């Protein structure tokens, strides 16, 4: 059942795996599946390829969550923020639309088109709005537009019962649900959209229940994150973020990772390389062997942002309006593979997920621990340009 407000961090339990299985008897896929495809020229392409890629890793999921992020899908409304919102009922929708009307000029709103799929049940009301901050409210707040939107998203998600803004960036959107990712793709008719960046996630939760808002990707403004792993630094990360106005209402690792990059890159203006050196910092022995200038920078980062170090096994794909980044934890406890063909870059938990949509892919490599793969889209302005 679709509900809001319940804790998403409960006792650890791996669903669907018997204690009798071992690596010798079955494949141990090490959790969730993540995948991404980007065209570096910014040429949009159908969502069919990302659906087929993530479907190839079905055994990494258990049907408790799947989702997609797509960039470049709303060119006719690219100047507006696109809000994708889940509503538990009409009262939540009425309260949210009242709040939005007080703070935004709404260009257009309506239900997100879906189709009936056997594997997708108990769907909430799913609406989409294209809007812009009201000029008077923006002037009154003395904030820039992104910061104003971020605070409004936090307000809705933490204060309005039964409402959750799943996506809030420009010319992009997040589509997620409880179900296997290929069923989620069919439900949202992903094949009818065209984007120049696609990311996807198949969820195998080990310490959180499956529900619509808790599926990946997690999003704020243009940022989206898909994640495989377990973050042991969650408590320290959240305490730091909440001092700066972030509301971690879902109590999940991936939500915190999304906010960390928003804080470091958008708010503090750090480069992606420096942000990575913050969240996946080198070990102290390695820092001591660095050249003096770099050594002092890394030490300063560790002192300033000590609570934003991400500990534990993880692989993530972070995407934004003009690029994406793939990153493993420092000692590479989760798999992540990249490849290329023409102007397309492919990233996935397994090479098979790339080969199934692009058999001729080249430059296939397994990403190293703590070493980011950065991809920027030509001709599109955004972070990192």
102 phi/psi in degrees, rounded to 5: -75, -25
In a domain, 302, yes or no: yes
What CA–CA distance (Å, rounded) separates 287 from 291?
9
Identified catalytic residue from 32, 152, 248, 358: 32
Is 0.85 surpassed by the pTM of this model? yes
Other beta carbons within 10 angstroms of residue 204's beta carbon come to: 22
Give the list of residues 6+ apart from residue 385 with CB closer than 8 angstroms, or none.
Answer: 322, 376
């959180």: which residue's tokens? 208
- One pLDDT digit (tens) per residue for the chain, 385 residues: 333 333 222 222 222 333 333 334 444 455 788 999 999 999 999 999 999 999 998 888 786 788 999 999 999 999 999 999 999 999 999 999 999 999 999 999 999 999 999 989 999 999 999 999 999 999 999 999 999 999 999 999 999 999 999 999 999 999 999 999 999 999 999 999 999 999 999 876 666 666 787 778 999 999 999 988 888 888 999 999 999 999 988 767 889 999 999 999 999 999 999 999 999 988 889 899 999 999 999 999 999 999 999 988 889 999 999 999 999 988 888 889 999 999 999 999 999 999 999 999 999 999 998 889 999 999 888 877 6
Q: What is the pLDDT of residue 22?
A: 35
Number of Cβ atoms within 10 Å of the Cβ of 13:
11
Residue 51 resides in a domain: yes
Could you list the beta-strand ranges (E) of the chain.
33-39, 45-46, 66-71, 81-87, 104-111, 125-133, 163-167, 172-177, 194-195, 197-202, 218-220, 223-229, 314-320, 323-328, 337-341, 344-348, 362-366, 373-376
Query: Is 152 labeled as catalytic in the residue annotation?
Result: no
In a domain, residue 13? The reply is: no
Please indicate, yes or no, if residue 322 is contained in any of the structural domains: yes
Can you give the pLDDT at residue 103?
98
Classify residue 145: in a domain, yes or no.
Answer: yes
Q: Quick one: pLDDT at residue 180?
A: 92
3-class SS of residue 325: strand
Q: Is residue 336 part of a domain?
A: yes
| Residues 266 and 221: beta-carbon distance below 8 Å | yes
- At residue 209, the pLDDT reads 64
**CATH number, domain containing residue 205:** 3.60.20.10
Between helices 272-279 and 253-261, what is the axis angle to 10°? Answer: 140
Residue 27: predicted pLDDT: 46
Name the one residue in this structure whose structure tokens are 């030509």: 378
Q: Residue 51 sits in which domain range? A: 33-376
- How many domains is the chain partitioned into structurally? 1
pLDDT at 380: 85
Can you read off the two tokens belonging to residue 108? 């257009």
In a domain, 5, yes or no: no
| Residues contacting 373, CB < 8 A, separation 6+ | 325, 326, 327, 338, 347, 367
The per-residue pLDDT for 8 is 29
Phi, psi of 216 (to 5 degrees): -95, 160
> Is residue 76 assigned to a domain?
yes
Contact 154/247 with Cβ under 8 angstroms?
A: yes
């Amino acid at each position: 059942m679709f509900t809001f407000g319940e804790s998403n961090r409960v006792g650890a339990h791996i669903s669907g795996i018997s204690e009798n299985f071992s690596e010798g008897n079955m494949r141990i896929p090490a959790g969730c599946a993540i995948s991404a495809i980007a065209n570096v020229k910014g040429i949009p392409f159908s969502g069919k390829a990302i659906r087929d890629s993530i479907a190839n890793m079905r055994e990494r999921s258990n049907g408790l969550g799947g989702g997609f992020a797509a960039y470049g899908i709303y060119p006719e409304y690219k100047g507006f923020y696109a809000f994708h919102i889940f509503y538990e009922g009409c009262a939540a929708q009425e309260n949210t639309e009242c709040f939005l009307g007080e703070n935004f000029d709404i260009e257009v709103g309506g239900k997100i088109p879906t189709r009936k799929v056997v594997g997708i049940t108990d769907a909430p009301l799913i609406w989409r709005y294209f809007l812009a901050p009201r000029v008077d409210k923006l002037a009154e707040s003395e904030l820039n537009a992104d910061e104003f939107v971020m605070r409004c998203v936090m307000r809705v998600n933490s204060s309005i019962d039964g409402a959750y803004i799943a996506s809030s960036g420009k010319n992009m959107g997040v589509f997620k649900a409880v179900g296997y990712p290929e069923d989620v793709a069919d439900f949202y008719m992903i094949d009818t959209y065209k984007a120049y960046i696609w990311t996807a996630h198949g969820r195998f939760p080990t310490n959180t229940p499956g529900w619509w808002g808790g599926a990946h990707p997690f999003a704020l403004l243009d940022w989206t994150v898909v994640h495989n792993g377990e973050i042991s630094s969650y408590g320290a990360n959240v305490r730091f973020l909440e001092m700066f106005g972030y509301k971690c209402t879902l109590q999940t690792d991936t939500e915190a990772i999304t906010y960390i990059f928003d804080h470091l890159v958008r708010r503090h203006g750090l480069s992606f390389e420096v942000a990575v050196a913050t969240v996946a910092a080198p070990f102290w022995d390695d820092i001591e062997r660095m050249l003096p200038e770099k050594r002092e920078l890394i030490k300063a980062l560790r002192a300033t942002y000590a609570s934003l170090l991400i500990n534990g096994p993880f692989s993530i794909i972070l995407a934004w309006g003009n690029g994406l980044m793939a990153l493993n934890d420092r000692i590479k406890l989760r798999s992540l593979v990249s490849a290329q063909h023409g102007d397309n870059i492919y990233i996935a938990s397994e090479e098979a997920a790339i080969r199934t949509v692009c058999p001729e892919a080249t430059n296939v490599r397994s990403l190293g621990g703590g070493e980011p793969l950065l991809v920027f889209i030509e001709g599109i302005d955004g972070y990192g340009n």
